[in-house]
A = this chain, B = another copy of it.
Amino acid sequence: MATHKLLLLPGDGIGPEVMGEVKRLIDWLNSAGIAKFETDTGLVGGSAYDAHKVSISEGDMAKALAADAIIFGAVGGPKWDAVPYEVRPEAGLLRLRKDLALFANLRPAVCYPALADASSLKREAVEGLDIVIVRELTGGVYFGEPKTITDLGNGQKRAIDTQVYDTYEIERIGRVAFELARKRKNKVTSMEKRNVMKSGVLWNEVMTQVHKREYPDVTLEHQLADSGGMMLVKWPKQFDVIVTDNLFGDMLSDIAAMLTGSLGMLPSASLGEIDVKIKKRKALYEPVHGSAPDIAGKGLANPIAMISSFGMALRYSFDMGDLADKVDAAIAAVLASGLRTADIKSEGTTAASTTQMGEAILKEL
């Protein structure tokens, strides 16, 4: 049995708690002889800043580069609001994405039937919802230069951010979306603002070419990002795979996640290019939710998004699709049994702490 090297980066806030439940699952998989994971742990975000005044240390970056997959908790919190921009908690996550070239961020927005009523949307609008947002993750306004604040004198400053996209960046994220659609409902909706942004014009053009050249069997639609956002709120089920740039993806995937009523349940995968020689790709898996500092350390956090992110690792990094299916089924079974953490608690269900939820899922497995 191959040994897989995992780097666990719990991060801040509820990160360590939810990571604890993944650790429990990994330990069990190892001891039951189902898989062989070698785990190491590192610091990222505010906790890295507290320890070494950076958002991730060079040592941990080296571990990240050497790992087969990174399992990431969450970063940030008001405690670090005043730290310098360059070493703010988020910088650690952004550096991991960039230095590992994790350009493809897959964010499923799935409405768990047991939770359909937790959505602010009407049940009929979200019941059965199953879409994926494919977000470009290493380009655009997140990383483009110049990115500066200049003092102009007279009490005036000028801030500049730059959105940059090259053809190849759009092509490769397009391919990820089309490939994924082929395994799903075969439909891709590309969103940009071509009526205002030149990067939107190029995005639209390149998506259209990739589609025509390589994926004519998949349905491709284009929407402006603003009206796409509207449509997402109005009738999300019209979508299958949405592909969009880094900043629009940030906004739209958060909105899609909130629609489902299952924010504490949604995983994500950030993937690099497949290295054809070793048939491997760099990858980082993280829950869509944030570090929720207000509930940290209280046993209130929902570990499902984190466990489900580990499930995505099994599927996308280790070719253990069957085991990933079992993890998903265990989560569904525990929810069906009525167990709920505080964020998804409703009348007639049974309250569970972070640990109790993790243990119940493990028992189900």
Binding site for B on A (CB under 8 A): 76, 85, 88, 90, 94, 120-122, 125, 141-142, 144, 147-149, 152, 155-168, 193, 195-199, 201-203, 225-227, 229-230, 233-235, 247-248, 250-251, 254-255, 257-259, 263, 290
Contacts and interface: CB of A to CB of B under 8 A. Distances in A.
B235 A254 contact: no
Which of A76, A193, A225, A251: most chain B Cβ within 10 A? A251
A267 to B, nearest CB: 17
Contact of A165 (B159, B168, B235): B159
B159 A202 contact: yes
Contacts of A166: 152, 156-159
A-B interface, 8 closest residue pairs, ranked by CB to CB distance from nearest: A159-B202, A159-B199, A230-B258, A161-B163, A90-B195, A226-B254, A120-B125, A159-B198
Copies in the complex: 2
A202 B141 contact: no
Nearest to A248: B251
Contact of A160 (B152, B164, B258): B164
Given A158-B166, A165-B159, A196-B90, A251 B233 contact: no
A160 B146 CA distance: 11
Given A155-B167, A159-B198, A235 B120 contact: yes
Which of A125, A156, A229, A248: most chain B Cβ within 10 A? A229
A141 B251 contact: no
Contacts of A233: 120-121, 233, 255, 258-259
A255 B230 contact: yes
Which of A90, A202, A233, A250: most chain B Cβ within 10 A? A233
Given A162-B162, A193-B250, A233-B259, 17 more contacts: A90-B196, A141-B163, A142-B196, A144-B160, A157-B166, A158-B166, A159-B164, A159-B165, A159-B198, A159-B199, A160-B162, A160-B198, A226-B250, A226-B251, A230-B255, A230-B258, A255-B255
A167 B162 CA distance: 18
B147 A88 contact: no
A270 B63 CA distance: 52
B198 A149 contact: yes
Contacts of A203: 159
A318 B156 CA distance: 33
Contacts of A144: 160
Contact of A147 (B157, B159, B198, B250): B198
Contacts of A235: 120
A230 B289 CA distance: 11
A195 B76 contact: yes
A88 B197 contact: no
B141 A197 contact: yes
Contacts of A250: 193, 196, 226
A61 to B, nearest CB: 20
Contact of A202 (B120, B149, B168, B201): B149
A149 B201 CA distance: 9
A148 B251 contact: no
A234 B233 CA distance: 11
